[in-house]
Chain A
């Protein structure tokens, strides 16, 4: 069970994000990841990995799906607006932002838990 903790946390971040984010601000991804790593008591390294991959996959896959349904019309315009980023890089950039947001939340959670655990 312990072996799979990382993967389960990762899946839960994706799932919870998918269900909760439509009703909350964009940065809710950070507290979602925070809570999930707390529940699973992941180490800071594993938390960062779970958070980053979770956020990356959630935002990246959704961006890719919306981009392909739109046949890349908007992503190429947004890329051009942001100083000539190729359209195909826009979903990737989205994924990285999602990854950073969730990983930061996860790391805060994990470090915070360590803090409380050590003071006990």
Chain B
């Protein structure tokens, strides 16, 4: 009896310890609760003392000279180092201290290594990332960075700094997420810096619609397709002011494109793409338009919002440079910022730089393919995907052709092998420096010429780099590596058996669209088309902005005597041209209709609306649901087809134009019904539905802020680590482009006075630790449209409001 009792208790104890020591027991998402709750090992160690930060002096192996880091009131670090390598070493150290999980998870995600931390559920995701060739792209980028001495040294110093921090950690000091997931941090490397940079390419220039457009054209026929999907919106107000002359000898490629004979449906689904609303605003006004006579530069990149933020604020001061701005954990340098002489910002360009080529296999085993009548062997890249909890990796063999990786293989379809040609894969041409070098040069640039020179190193993802200096210059450059295209080339899937379809040359950096000090006194971009039709090169993009750019230019055109406060108000402007265009068109269609009392009330609400997406506005929710319903019944045939195969969807501006100009167009007819529908009848039907929906909502849930429901999730979507729901305004097509969890990820305003005056805010904080008071300390300020003053002192002592200082040697 005693033996039995002892044995039972012993077994129970062992089982308890075993279970409490297991991460994800019973296939749950639970951490190993024993170590997780232990006050000696677990999350309690990540509960930072509030007001517990003190001055520290310590030695860091890897620093060549003493250095100081002073942290301001918001805990933003200001690095003072004796040389650039020491500064980048410290930047790496700080990024790792505050954001290591973010760096680790985002590089693993780019390289297709998520299964290692999350398990078998992520295998398909990893395969896809690898079939995109992202790992290969990062290796190609690194081979270039390594050829440029300054970049190589910066990346190596940065990586050493990251590792100096990681190696100093004992398991109880690991970031919280490692304890939750039961994983270990792994050492950083230069390759990871390259992968981290490719994360941006994946987010910003992976967008394409060759497959969708091919399907849609096959479904609708050439004539209806070209009617519904014009290449661009004539109403757009381009980045380079209309009337700017492009004074250069363009590259001409004489060869004819072969006749397209591949039109047909592609039965398989395409890879998920970055959301279409990834966008940003930037502008600079010249001193002639400002109250103080100094140029002012503004930038707000719209990206997925997360805790921690994608951005990390930092000042880097060395004898060669003194720069402040936001950096991206995982890469050295400052991506958007300013120094004592110039300021720069970025928005995404959106030109199509990814084409799909259909492969003609030369043999049944698909080991070789045809190119210009000759047989070429594929090369193989064997991808080893390791999975958490399993010893052997999952293998995926990806075939590579001269075009790039064969991302899709599907024996059943006519498109048995589709290869990707993507600018972000390219091994860069020999140049004095590359993307990392661009940022290092911008950080120390003194004037317009040095800014333009810095951009020559930057290929992808193409960015609209805005510029202002304290010499009074402003400018903007649509900068990146762009293929010289024939008319329409790359809109649809191309025949990959002939090199006539290949990209032969690239637009020289001296011929990319750019403008300096235009007469109108401002430059701007909001992801719209870069130029008017006089630009000598053909380019195409599926997601050019139609509304923010027009509004930014309309506002700036009208403004005079601009102050910093005006610019703050403008970055937080919730007005949108989309309803300004769409709502009158919709309302006109129901003008004569007989409406109930409640419907009249809704109609009046819409009529009286000023097109501003303020938090307490009631009209936005009705307008958007009406627009959505109307869109869905108008393009029902296309949307239904989209259930089977990938389709392109008609752009909003074209939809509005059709309602305005051709309300009897056959597209409004619902084919499956007997009667013939027109825009009028559909508008009434959908308006009734939208008003009904409006009254079904409780009175306090009609406010736009409630409908929009903005909140900021944790970067790994761990529950409990997100922000609360925010009551802010904004809309996708407003300057203040706040969506549910995407929007202005950094707002910056820099006045080029002497000394410079700068303001900025992002939702989050420096720390990535959910147990830190600096994890989300700037979320409310951001939601309220307020800013912090940004300091760029010349010495550690002149920083105002120092929280604490590190003295390092």
When the two chains form their complex, are residues A108 and B6 in contact, meaning their CB atoms are under 8 A apart? yes
Chain B residues, Cβ within 8 Å of A74: 43-44, 46-47, 176, 770-771
A interface footprint on B1-29 (CB within 8 Å = 1, 0 otherwise):
01101100110110011001100000000
Name the residue on A nearest B180 (C-beta). Answer: A81
A interface footprint on B720-759 (CB within 8 Å = 1, 0 otherwise):
1100000000000000000000000000000000000000
When the two chains form their complex, are residues A70 and B719 in contact, meaning their CB atoms are under 8 A apart? no
Interface status of B327 (Cβ within 8 A of chain A) = no
Interface status of A66 (Cβ within 8 A of chain B) = yes
When the two chains form their complex, are residues B39 and A27 in contact, meaning their CB atoms are under 8 A apart? no
Q: Measured between alpha carbons, how far is A68 from B10 in the docked complex, in Å?
A: 36
Interface status of B50 (Cβ within 8 A of chain A) = yes
**Which residue from A62, A79, A115 sits with its C-beta under 8 Å from B39?**
A62
When the two chains form their complex, are residues B34 and A115 in contact, meaning their CB atoms are under 8 A apart? no
When the two chains form their complex, are residues A63 and B39 in contact, meaning their CB atoms are under 8 A apart? yes
B interface footprint on A87-101 (CB within 8 Å = 1, 0 otherwise):
000000110011011
Report the minimum CB–CB distance from B168 to chain A (whole Å). Answer: 17
Knowing A21-B38, A27-B21, A27-B34, say if A73 contacts B12 (CB, 8 Å). no
When the two chains form their complex, are residues A77 and B770 in contact, meaning their CB atoms are under 8 A apart? yes
**Which residue from A22, A62, A70 sits with its C-beta under 8 Å from B771?**
A70
When the two chains form their complex, are residues B43 and A78 in contact, meaning their CB atoms are under 8 A apart? yes
Interface status of A41 (Cβ within 8 A of chain B) = no
Q: Measured between alpha carbons, how far is A118 from B5 in the docked complex, in Å?
A: 14
Name the residue on A nearest B772 (C-beta). Answer: A73
Name the residue on B nearest A83 (C-beta). Answer: B719
Knowing A104-B9, A108-B9, say if A26 contacts B52 (CB, 8 Å). no
Chain A residues, Cβ within 8 Å of B5: 111
B interface footprint on A18-36 (CB within 8 Å = 1, 0 otherwise):
0001100111001000000
Chain B residues, Cβ within 8 Å of A62: 39-40, 44
Report the minimum CB–CB distance from A35 to chain B (whole Å). Answer: 14
Q: Measured between alpha carbons, how far is A101 from B20 in the docked complex, in Å?
A: 10
Chain A residues, Cβ within 8 Å of B264: none
**Which residue from A73, A80, A100, A115 sits with its C-beta under 8 Å from B2?**
A115
Chain A residues, Cβ within 8 Å of B20: 26-27, 97, 101
When the two chains form their complex, are residues A97 and B47 in contact, meaning their CB atoms are under 8 A apart? no
Chain B residues, Cβ within 8 Å of A77: 720-721, 770-771
Interface status of B42 (Cβ within 8 A of chain A) = yes
Interface status of B41 (Cβ within 8 A of chain A) = yes
When the two chains form their complex, are residues A105 and B6 in contact, meaning their CB atoms are under 8 A apart? no
User: Interface range on chain B: under 10, 10 to 19, 20 to 34, or 35 or more?
Assistant: 35 or more
Knowing A63-B44, A108-B6, say if A80 contacts B49 (CB, 8 Å). no
Name the residue on B nearest A114 (C-beta). Answer: B2
Q: Measured between alpha carbons, how far is A21 from B45 in the docked complex, in Å?
A: 13
Name the residue on A nearest B2 (C-beta). Answer: A115
Q: At the interface, is chain A mostly helix, strand, loop or mixed?
A: helix
User: Interface range on chain A: under 10, 10 to 19, 20 to 34, or 35 or more?
Assistant: 35 or more
Interface status of B718 (Cβ within 8 A of chain A) = yes
Interface status of B773 (Cβ within 8 A of chain A) = yes
Name the residue on A nearest B29 (C-beta). Answer: A81
Name the residue on A nearest B721 (C-beta). Answer: A77
Interface status of A1 (Cβ within 8 A of chain B) = no
Report the minimum CB–CB distance from A81 to chain B (whole Å). Answer: 3
Q: Measured between alpha carbons, how far is A83 from B10 in the docked complex, in Å?
A: 31
Knowing A59-B38, A74-B770, A115-B3, say if A101 contacts B719 (CB, 8 Å). no
Name the residue on A nearest B776 (C-beta). Answer: A73
Report the minimum CB–CB distance from B719 to chain A (whole Å). Answer: 5
Chain B residues, Cβ within 8 Å of A114: 2, 6
Q: Measured between alpha carbons, how far is A43 from B305 in the docked complex, in Å?
A: 58
**Which residue from B13, B40, B180, B719 sits with its C-beta under 8 Å from A30?**
B13
When the two chains form their complex, are residues A26 and B50 in contact, meaning their CB atoms are under 8 A apart? no
Interface status of B655 (Cβ within 8 A of chain A) = no
**Which residue from B2, B176, B721 sits with its C-beta under 8 Å from A111?**
B2
Interface status of B580 (Cβ within 8 A of chain A) = no
Within 8 A of B (CB), among A3-23: 21-22
Knowing A62-B44, A74-B770, A111-B9, say if A94 contacts B52 (CB, 8 Å). no
Q: Measured between alpha carbons, how far is A12 from B5 in the docked complex, in Å?
A: 26
When the two chains form their complex, are residues B720 and A81 in contact, meaning their CB atoms are under 8 A apart? yes
Chain B residues, Cβ within 8 Å of A80: 719-720
Knowing A69-B49, A70-B47, A74-B47, say if A108 contacts B10 (CB, 8 Å). yes
Chain B residues, Cβ within 8 Å of A93: 37
Chain A residues, Cβ within 8 Å of B40: 21-22, 26, 62
Q: Measured between alpha carbons, how far is A73 from B307 in the docked complex, in Å?
A: 15
When the two chains form their complex, are residues A67 and B47 in contact, meaning their CB atoms are under 8 A apart? yes
A interface footprint on B755-775 (CB within 8 Å = 1, 0 otherwise):
000000000000000111101
Report the minimum CB–CB distance from B50 to chain A (whole Å). Answer: 5
Chain B residues, Cβ within 8 Å of A82: 720
Chain A residues, Cβ within 8 Å of B771: 70, 73-74, 77
When the two chains form their complex, are residues A111 and B50 in contact, meaning their CB atoms are under 8 A apart? no
Report the minimum CB–CB distance from B5 to chain A (whole Å). Answer: 6
When the two chains form their complex, are residues A66 and B770 in contact, meaning their CB atoms are under 8 A apart? no
Interface status of B591 (Cβ within 8 A of chain A) = no
When the two chains form their complex, are residues B16 and A26 in contact, meaning their CB atoms are under 8 A apart? no
Name the residue on B nearest A28 (C-beta). Answer: B40
Chain A residues, Cβ within 8 Å of B43: 74, 78
Interface status of A86 (Cβ within 8 A of chain B) = no
Name the residue on A nearest B30 (C-beta). Answer: A82
Interface status of B35 (Cβ within 8 A of chain A) = yes
Q: Measured between alpha carbons, how far is A73 from B720 in the docked complex, in Å?
A: 11
Name the residue on A nearest B21 (C-beta). Answer: A27
Knowing A74-B771, A108-B13, A112-B6, say if A59 contacts B37 (CB, 8 Å). yes
Q: Measured between alpha carbons, how far is A58 from B718 in the docked complex, in Å?
A: 29
Q: Measured between alpha carbons, how far is A101 from B15 in the docked complex, in Å?
A: 11
Report the minimum CB–CB distance from A88 to chain B (whole Å). Answer: 14
A interface footprint on B162-190 (CB within 8 Å = 1, 0 otherwise):
00000000001000100010000000000
Report the minimum CB–CB distance from A57 to chain B (whole Å). Answer: 12
Q: Measured between alpha carbons, how far is A63 from B45 in the docked complex, in Å?
A: 9
**Which residue from A21, A69, A104 sits with its C-beta under 8 Å from B50?**
A69
Q: Measured between alpha carbons, how far is A70 from B773 in the docked complex, in Å?
A: 8
Within 8 A of A (CB), among B25-82: 33-35, 37-50, 52
Chain A residues, Cβ within 8 Å of B10: 108, 111-112
Name the residue on A nearest B42 (C-beta). Answer: A26
When the two chains form their complex, are residues A70 and B37 in contact, meaning their CB atoms are under 8 A apart? no
Interface status of A107 (Cβ within 8 A of chain B) = yes
A interface footprint on B108-145 (CB within 8 Å = 1, 0 otherwise):
00000000000000000000000000000000000000
Q: Measured between alpha carbons, how far is A51 from B69 in the docked complex, in Å?
A: 47
Chain B residues, Cβ within 8 Å of A73: 47-48, 50, 770-773, 775
Chain A residues, Cβ within 8 Å of B37: 26, 59, 63, 93-94, 97-98
Q: Measured between alpha carbons, how far is A69 from B41 in the docked complex, in Å?
A: 17
Name the residue on B nearest A26 (C-beta). Answer: B38
When the two chains form their complex, are residues B41 and A25 in contact, meaning their CB atoms are under 8 A apart? yes
Chain A residues, Cβ within 8 Å of B718: 81
Report the minimum CB–CB distance from A94 to chain B (whole Å). Answer: 5
Chain B residues, Cβ within 8 Å of A75: 47
Chain B residues, Cβ within 8 Å of A78: 43, 720
Report the minimum CB–CB distance from B40 to chain A (whole Å). Answer: 4
A interface footprint on B411-438 (CB within 8 Å = 1, 0 otherwise):
0000000000000000000000000000
A-B contact pairs, 24 of them (CB 8 A): A21-B40, A25-B35, A26-B34, A59-B39, A62-B39, A63-B39, A66-B44, A66-B45, A70-B47, A71-B773, A73-B771, A73-B775, A74-B43, A74-B44, A80-B719, A81-B718, A81-B719, A97-B20, A97-B37, A101-B20, A104-B9, A107-B9, A112-B6, A114-B6
Q: Which residues of B contact A (CB under 8 A)?
A: 2-3, 5-6, 9-10, 12-13, 16-17, 20-21, 33-35, 37-50, 52, 172, 176, 180, 718-721, 770-773, 775
Having A26-B20, A26-B42, one finds 14 other A-B pairs with CB under 8 Å, namely: A26-B21, A26-B37, A27-B20, A70-B771, A77-B721, A77-B770, A78-B720, A81-B719, A94-B39, A94-B44, A97-B20, A101-B17, A104-B9, A104-B12
